[in-house]
């Protein structure tokens, strides 16, 4: 099993690419830094140990010779001069010890024996309770005991060096973080640009500056966006052209049908032509909705706008009411907004018989317009599908009620074109709620 799989199972592997790169880079740099410090420490330790043992051998031989030749009364005055940082001389038998000692202790004992030159009886013991402390007991020529108290303490590196190494590690952490951030930023910008990609909006192009790889990716993305916008525009133009060109032959067919003798077949033909004509009009409307941003924005009073729309329906005898409204002005494209609300209200009347309009503001200040009905509703798993062009729900929305499957698609396209969103949800107790959110 790989290390990555183990990290995933233990849930220690971070999810973001930046965190993973930072963790890998930091781990590699830290391990390399630790190995360098370990090699330095080992080399310094071995050098310091060799110097200490060599100095110990030469210095002990000289010190023993001096103390042996001095009169017994003058020896205490020389002890301070002969003391060193890791060992000192004691006149007397010293402390009781044990012959067992570590490998380093045995090496020090061997050096002391060599320094004594086999002239004096020598016994080296380890002091219990401190495995690093040794005492070498010998007897001088006049019979007085002498003890060499050894406290080996090898400091291979300077005391300030660990702080420098720690500062270096902090610097490496900062450099690693900056390098990862610099490497990840183009990916984040590319992801944000892809998320905001909308051929119907004039979003700023992705910057094509930076390293050659980043500039190449940005150029490729911008070219892809231009091609997508071109393909969509061509598709919409084809749909609009076909729908427009169909109107002339449909009109001729309707005129010819009018001159035909009255019969059941004539009525069916006229009805079919009317359905075809309505489908053509809806196709043209959908093609125009894809370019809803051609209309200029203007300031409107949302409360008066909703009331005017509801009165137009009421004047024709339609059951459209305004349940709640707010006062205040918003900047939007009024014709596009009217077409959105008209499509939603027509759907509510068609499938529910009545329509209620509520206008509110959310916590962020956006205007929320809800069109409610008490129709059969829409299955929740079909909310996205019903906003696609020419999609019709055969089960819940009866084909006999009419419709081309473009009403919600046009409303959805126009909602995006004016910078808003269209959301559908089923009402408690039955019916559908179509909610338009327009940022202030």
Can you spell out the DSSP letters for 292-320? GGGSPPEEEEHHHHHHHHHHHHHHTT--E
Q: Do residues 210 and 176 share a domain?
A: no
Give the alpha-carbon dihedral of 277, 283, 287, 292, to 10 degrees.
80
d(CA 20, CA 220): 27
pLDDT value for 274: 78
Give me the sign of the Cα torsion angle 404, 409, 413, 416: positive
pLDDT value for 205: 81
Q: Do residues 18 and 113 share a domain?
A: yes
Q: Do residues 265 and 322 share a domain?
A: no
What the block records as the tokens of 95 is 């402390």
What the block records as the tokens of 57 is 């051998």
pLDDT value for 135: 79
Q: Do residues 280 and 324 share a domain?
A: no
Q: Do residues 323 and 267 share a domain?
A: no
What the block records as the tokens of 131 is 């495995």
Q: In what order do the strands lie in the sheet with 145-150?
A: 87-91, 145-150, 134-139, 122-126
Does a structural domain hold residue 91?
Answer: yes
Eight-state DSSP code of residue 415: H
Q: Do residues 364 and 329 share a domain?
A: yes
Q: 365: alpha, beta or left, given left = phi > 0 and alpha = psi -120 to 50? A: left
Number of domains in the chain: 3
Read off the CATH number of the domain in which 257 is found.
Answer: 1.10.287.130
d(CA 234, CA 123): 103
Does a structural domain hold residue 377?
Answer: yes
Read off the CATH number of the domain in which 417 is found.
Answer: 3.30.565.10
Indicate whether this model's pTM tops 0.85: no
Vertex 23, ends 22 and 26: CA angle to 5°?
80
Q: Which of 294, 311, 159, 165 is nearest to 240 (CA)?
A: 294
Q: Could you tell me where the beta strands, DSSP code E, fall in 183-328?
A: 298-301, 320-324
Does a structural domain hold residue 339?
Answer: yes
Domain end: 290, 322, 351, which one? 290
Does a structural domain hold residue 4?
Answer: no
d(CA 321, CA 103): 99
- Whether residue 374 contacts residue 390, with contact meaning beta carbons closer than 8 Å, is answered with no
Domain end: 255, 272, 290, which one? 290
Q: Do residues 246 and 377 share a domain?
A: no
pLDDT value for 288: 64
d(CA 439, CA 435): 13
Q: What residue has token string 């696609």?
A: 388
Does a structural domain hold residue 36?
Answer: yes
Label the pairing between strands 134-139 and 122-126. Answer: antiparallel
Q: Do residues 250 and 276 share a domain?
A: yes
pLDDT value for 358: 92
Cα–Cα separations (whole angstroms), residue 53 to 35, 81, 104, 153, 311: 27, 20, 10, 12, 107
Question: The domain containing residue 20 runs over which residues?
Answer: 14-189
What the block records as the tokens of 223 is 């070219």
d(CA 120, CA 404): 118
Does a structural domain hold residue 6?
Answer: no
C-alpha of 182 from chain center:
14
Tens-place pLDDT, residues 132-183: 777 778 888 888 888 888 776 655 556 777 788 788 888 888 888 888 888 7
Residue ranges of the chain whose pLDDT lies below 70: 1-14, 48-49, 51-55, 57, 100-105, 116-118, 129-131, 152-158, 198-202, 283-295, 390, 393-405
d(CA 145, CA 95): 12
Q: Do residues 308 and 271 share a domain?
A: no
pLDDT value for 51: 67
pLDDT value for 154: 57
Does a structural domain hold residue 425?
Answer: yes
Q: Do residues 145 and 160 share a domain?
A: yes
Q: Do residues 41 and 151 share a domain?
A: yes
374: Cβ–Cβ under 8 A, 6 or more apart, which residues?
352, 353, 354, 427, 429, 430, 431
Does a structural domain hold residue 9?
Answer: no
Q: Do residues 252 and 105 share a domain?
A: no
Domain end: 143, 162, 189, which one? 189
Provide the 10 A C-beta neighbour count for residue 407: 22
- Whether residue 120 contacts residue 63, with contact meaning beta carbons closer than 8 Å, is answered with no
pLDDT value for 372: 92
């Amino acid at each position: 099993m790989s290390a990555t799989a183990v990290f995933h199972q233990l849930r220690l592997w971070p999810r973001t690419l930046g965190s993973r790169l930072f963790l890998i880079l930091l781990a590699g740099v830290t391990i390399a830094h630790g190995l360098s410090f370990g090699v330095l420490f080992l080399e310094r330790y071995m050098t310091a140990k060799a110097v200490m043992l060599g100095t110990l051998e030469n210095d002990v031989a000289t010190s023993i010779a001096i103390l042996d030749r001095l009169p017994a009364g003058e020896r205490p005055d020389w002890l301070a001069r002969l003391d060193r940082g890791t060992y000192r001389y004691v006149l007397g038998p010293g402390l009781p010890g044990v012959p067992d000692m570590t490998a380093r202790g045995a090496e020090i004992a061997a050096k002391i024996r060599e320094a004594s030159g086999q002239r004096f009886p020598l016994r080296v013991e380890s002091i219990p309770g401190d495995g690093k402390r040794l005492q070498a007991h010998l007897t001088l020529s006049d019979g007085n005991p002498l003890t060499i108290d050894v406290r080996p303490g090898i400091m291979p590196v300077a005391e300030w060096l660990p702080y420098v190494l720690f500062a270096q590690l902090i610097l490496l952490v900062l450099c690693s973080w900056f390098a990862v951030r610099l490497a990840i930023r183009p990916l984040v910008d590319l992801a944000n640009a892809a998320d905001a990609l909308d051929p119907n909006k004039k979003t700023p192009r992705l910057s094509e500056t930076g390293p050659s790889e980043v500039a190449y990716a940005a150029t490729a993305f911008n070219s892809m966006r231009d091609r997508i916008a071109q393909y969509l525009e061509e598709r919409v133009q084809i749909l609009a052209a076909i729908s427009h060109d169909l109107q002339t032959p449909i009109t001729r067919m309707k005129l010819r049908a009018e001159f035909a003798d009255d019969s059941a077949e004539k009525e069916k033909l006229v009805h079919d032509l009317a359905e075809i004509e309505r489908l053509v009009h809806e196709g043209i409307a959908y093609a125009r909705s894809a370019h809803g941003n051609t209309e200029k924005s203007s300031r409107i009073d949302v409360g008066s706008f909703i009331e005017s729309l509801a009165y137009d329906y009421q004047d024709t005898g339609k059951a459209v009411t305004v349940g709640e409204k707010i006062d205040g002005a918003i900047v939007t494209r009024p014709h596009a907004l009217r077409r959105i609300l008209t499509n939603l209200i027509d759907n509510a009347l068609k499938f529910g018989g009545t329509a209620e309009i509520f206008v509110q503001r959310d916590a962020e200040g956006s205007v929320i317009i809800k069109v409610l009905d008490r129709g059969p509703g829409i299955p929740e798993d079909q909310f996205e599908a019903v906003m696609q062009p020419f999609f019709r729900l055969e089960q819940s929305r009866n084909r006999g009620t009419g419709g081309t499957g473009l009403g919600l698609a046009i409303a959805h396209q126009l909602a995006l074109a004016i910078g808003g969103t269209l959301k559908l949800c089923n009402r408690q107790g039955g019916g559908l709620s179509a909610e338009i959110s327009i940022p202030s």
